[in-house]
Amino acid sequence: MTFEEIVHYRRSVRYYKPLSIDPEKVKHCLELATLAPNSSNMQLWEFYHITDPELLRQLSVACLSQSAAKTAQQMVVFVTRQDLFRKRASAMLELSLQSTLQYSPQERIASRIKNRKRYYGYLMPFLYARFFGLLGWFRIMVANLLGLFRPIVYQVSEADMRVVVHKTCALAAQTFMLAMASEGYDTCPMEGFDGRKARRMLQLPFGAEINMIISCGIRDEKGIWGERVRVPFEEVYKRL
């Protein structure tokens, strides 16, 4: 399929046929999902690929026993991991330094290395750190002070950074669903679930949060609820 055909093919499927799907293909779609754009390339996400029948049953209960979950052949839980910000920042610093040494002009290597160390060594840990909301208020004060002299990002509270992490994870989830559509597989992103049950089942650490749960399978005719409906494009398109 062309990309446009893939976009039109992808639908939120609420009922799947009792046909198995290849877990390796699903895994490959998750590998493609890691290529999604994400803020500062921090990649603060994890993907839990559920194939075990008993775990699928438990997770479908956590998903309120909706048909999209009960009939799913596999499921993927997209999880945000803001708590891993130091580990990911350190990894990205190392990788960016290697890239700088390999691809930068000789005369710019020193300045770029300095910038990368400042960005991933200090700025990212400062932005993603949390401490009962207090660090967010401090970042807001710093941003408002610096904003008096130059343009700056003001959305730096702890709640703002949580939103950034979830937006990043959602981009990966959308990439995954489009990749699944290219394989002829179907998906349904579910936000209706018992987060406590799902967290216990996956044994998620305190700092992890579930972004969404995506069921996977092959669509049954009754799994598509009518034609796709959207508001008129003219209402959402603003050309300036």
CATH number at residue 48: 3.40.109.10
Res 176: pLDDT: 98
What is residue 168's predicted lDDT score, i.e. its pLDDT?
A: 98
Q: How many domains does the chain have?
A: 1
Give me the chain's average pLDDT, please.
97
Q: What is the pLDDT of residues 111-168, one digit of tens each?
A: 999 999 999 999 999 999 999 999 999 999 999 999 999 999 999 999 999 999 999 9
Whether 111 is covered by a domain: the verdict is no
Q: Which amino acid is at 45?
A: W
**Does residue 201 sit within a domain?**
yes
In a domain, 153, yes or no: no
CB 175, CB 32: distance < 8 Å = yes
Nearest of 213, 201, 203 to residue 55 by alpha carbon: 201
Residue 170: the pLDDT is 98
In a domain, 98, yes or no: no
Alpha-carbon distance of 114 to 121, in angstroms, equals 10
User: Where do runs of H (alpha helix) occur along the chain?
Assistant: 3-9, 23-33, 53-62, 67-70, 85-103, 109-118, 124-128, 134-146, 158-182, 195-202, 233-236
Residue 83 has a pLDDT of 97
Q: What is the predicted pLDDT for the residue at 147? A: 97
- Ramachandran angles phi, psi of 130, nearest 5°: -130, 145
Domain that holds residue 79: 3-84+160-224
Residue spans of the chain under pLDDT 70: none
Residue 233: inside a domain: no
pLDDT of residue 77: 98
Domain contains 123: no
Give the CA distances from residue 12 to residues 15, 57, 90, 171, in Å, rounded to whole numbers and listed in that order: 9, 20, 37, 16
Residue 65 in any domain: the answer is yes
Q: Is residue 203 part of a domain?
A: yes
